[in-house]
Structure 1
Amino acid sequence: MRKNTSGPRFRALLEAANISTTDFAKFWGTEAQNVHNWYTRGVPAYRMEEVSRLLSVNSDWLKTGEGVKDIPRLHAPASNGDTFDAQAIRGVYTVVNPSDIDLSFFKEAPIANGGGKTEVILDPDQSIRLPRAHLDQLDIKHANAICAHMIGNSMAERIEDGSIVAIDRGLTQVVDGEIYAVEHEGMLRIKYLHRMPGNGLRMRSHNSAEYPDEVFRPAQIEEQRIHILGWVFWWSTLGKRRPVVPFL
């Protein structure tokens, strides 16, 4: 396994962009000391992709210093003559036709030899199409849109178990009461989020009778690897049962 030596490169990128440790920590929703620790320890593996995307560099280069620095891009002309950029990282999309966007699926999956631990990864066997106009209306960059399945009944009756949710990875700043996809120690969770004093975070389920609120202090957010994947802007709702046809 290649060693994570991203610390100096991460620091140099912030300095080149004139971003202070405090400003980056505030934007990220964590303590400045945590970001400062990354200068020596390196960017945590579970945040490498998101930090790389935010700083517009290749995640392999940030981690090891090897390979190309800039993010590879694909330039695919659509049938109407438009040209779209597709970043070769999380959130890759393809243009199906001028009015549809094909979004990638992500899923929670076991880590090999991880002792039952999971992680959120790309599912290459699934995708879903959404109207391009829907994303444009919400000012969502097409490359930032991904999909996942709702697992469990914590958001019932609003988002049923098994429903598909669409996520805007470009909006990770918490707006109180909005629904977000969260990676929590490798678990994919869909929750209402609320800010708490001192950079804390409250997770709230729609099915609050079975799932009480969860409150996390900044240190717990870091320790438990709570990472906001993005804002949930669309979901499908599956029927609970197939109706019985009478008189057959």
Structure 2
Amino acid sequence: MTQNVSYISKGEMLDAIKTHLNMSKNTDFARFLGISSQAVSNWYTRNTFDAELLYTKCDFINPAWLLTGKGSMLKDDLNGIKTIDEANPSFMPTTSMNPSVGTPYYDVDFIGGFDEVFNSQVNIPATNIVIRGFEKASLWCNVTGHSMEPKINHGDIIALRQCTLNDIQYGEIYAVVLDTIRTIKILRRSPDPDKLRFIPINTDGYDEQEFDKSRIINVFEVIGSISKFF
């Protein structure tokens, strides 16, 4: 089951933070963060932000929410109960060049050539990503495109685990390598037993498609996605 994926857009998250700070203008927010107002505007335009900066400057933010958009924005949930262990900084993702620590990250877009990297015996990951909650993943890579927004945003990085057609849980998100294309979609059963339905979350300009199972070369379970933090 896909976990820890974004449920709201980065712009909506920024708006929520500004509201908590009683700020309405980007200029005030930028001054608070110590960056230019243009940088904040770019965050909105590109549907991204500097998670490390926000976590450093906004000590009230629940890092789980900051990374995924899921759950409470505030560290202090109902009746003062902590939503995470504040004393444990290991919740925040880090990178490591130690190949025995974390999960390999390949600096390649899944849509634009991932399978060549995956099938290479000599390709070396750019780094390893260390983050709690993604232990099932076997690798990380980049993702572009808008068809799965707001759950998976353009510019995010995704955690993948290779699986088979028999492993597919209908209604979950998978990254699929077909003979001519690569795509990330919700997979559902088709009336034709030889096909699968590929369903986008964002239906504004993106349509459901069906492909023959025989065209599928590789299938990866999408364990989750986070904003790129490095």
Greater share of strand: 1
TM-score, normalised with respect to structure 1: 0.43
